[in-house]
Amino acid sequence: MNHQDDQLHRLLQQWKEIEPPAHFDAQVWRRLRQRKPTFADWLRLWLPRPAFALGAAALVGAAIGVAGGWFSVTPASGFGLLGPDTLAGGYVRMAQR
């Protein structure tokens, strides 16, 4: 053994264990039960479940798609989705002929 190993061995021999207070485990669990769950806790609970994760992704994707479509239509084209410059508006004009 070299000099550093001897030093380490002497230091480890002087080590004193720390004793936790009485009923430490019970106090930790009590404090955990008193903690209010957050939105992040809720997500960690539900997102690992495949059906919920897929449903949440579909809902977020649909919301982004609808919002993108709604805000991409110019105000001059009348009612957004049925305006004359949209595909749906073209079908309405075609059906009226």
26-73 per-position pLDDT tens digit = 999 999 889 888 888 888 887 788 888 888 899 999 999 888 877 776
Q: Which of 8-17, 54-63, 76-85 has the lowest mean pLDDT?
A: 76-85
Contacting residues for 80 by C-beta, under 8 A, at least 6 apart: 69, 70, 73, 86
Q: What is the pTM of this model?
A: 0.36
Alpha-carbon Rg of the chain, whole angstroms? 32
DSSP 14: T
Task: Convert 24-38 to b/e letters by CB count within 10 Å (16 or more is b).
Answer: eeeeeeeeeeeeeee
